[in-house]
Structure 1
Amino acid sequence: MHAGRVLITGLWLLVLAAGLPGGAQAQGGLSCRAEASPMARVELFFGLQRQDGTLVGEAEWAAFLDQEVTPRFPDGLSVFTARGQWRHDTGRIARETSKMLVILYQPSAESEAAIEAIRAAYKEGFDQESVMRLDGSSCVSF
């Protein structure tokens, strides 16, 4: 998967218990309404095609999620099937099915290490060049 070259469609469902009091401000000045709490948000994009062209299967993905992701973020996460595309240097359009993982969390050194460990484990385990990472902040309420 090539960073910055992903087209995403679909419905976003975010699941995670919020930890900050309502109406608080997150780093960077994000201001939330009284019912919502600011949280960090990371979106990770995992390409499902290995370098040799074979695909990561649903059972392999589920095992990765159970073994590498859920233990690091047991409070909750969301996974979506996405469709990415980008233009090669040759001008040819490439398309790849991927998994998009969304995690809401409280920023900390431990959370950062956990996110990077997930990325490293996927790249190594599934012969990937990269796992694209998007960071942001969101106002969250339930």
Structure 2
Amino acid sequence: MSRQPAVFSTRWCLCIAVLVMAVAWGHPTHARGPDAPGPNALQTACTALHAPSVLQVSLLFGLNRPDGGHVSQRDWTHFVRDIITPRFPAGFSVLRMTGQWRDEHSGRIVREPSRIIWVATPFTPDLQPRLEAIRQAYRQRFGQDSVGLVITPGCAAF
């Protein structure tokens, strides 16, 4: 039986985040005050949930091309298959979004369809090169100025 990668809805991810924060907030060390030493709240929550520490990585991709074109669904699918999947074969989630940003030169607000790749992964020495390879490949293939990257410590169990 083949195992399919885990795909999570935005609602599911939000529920887990709220649960982790609730556990951390309700832990007795929170009542100590800001100057009192105590165990790391995130590590306490991870331990209580039997979930190992991971990094939550979000890669932010705009689908409008600078030349006025758009990254097609077929182009996106091939990019995910050829570039992202080999670097995160254990799985990741793809979220469809609409992004908004201000053009530095014109000051104009731009809205565009976008995708977020979300992956929970342990920190390993090869993580930075894998992420940079994805970002660089997207910029080169689709003529993009940037690919956003957000990394947040967390914990996960599957």
Q: Give your verdict on TM over 0.5.
A: yes
Larger Rg: 2
Which structure carries more relative contact order (alpha carbon 8 Å, separation 6+)?
1
Instruction: Give the letter for the 1:60 counterpart.
Output: D
Cα separation, 2, equivalents of 1:34 and 1:96: 37
In the alignment, does 2:125 pair up with 1:109? yes
Indicate the residue corresponding to 1:82 in structure 2.
97
In structure 2, what residue type is equivalent to 1:54?
G
| Residue of structure 2 equivalent to 1:94 | 110
Q: Rate the CA distance shift 1:130–1:46 in 2: closer, same or farther, 3 A.
A: same
Could you tell me whether the CA contact under 8 Å between 1:13 and 1:78 is conserved in 2? no
- Taking the aligned partners of 1:64 and 1:12, their CA distance within structure 2 comes to 26
Structure with bigger strand share is 1
Report the TM-score when normalising by structure 1: 0.76
SS class of match (2:71): coil
Closer/same/farther in 2, CA of residues 77 and 12 from structure 1, 3 Å limit: farther
Larger proportion of helix: 2
Match of 1:136 in 2: 152
TM-score of the superposed pair, with normalisation by structure 2: 0.69
Gap runs ≥5 in structure 2: 1-8, 14-39
Q: Give the superposed CA RMSD.
A: 1.8
**Which ranges of structure 1 fall in alignment gaps of 5 or more residues?**
1-9, 15-28
Count, aligned residues: 119
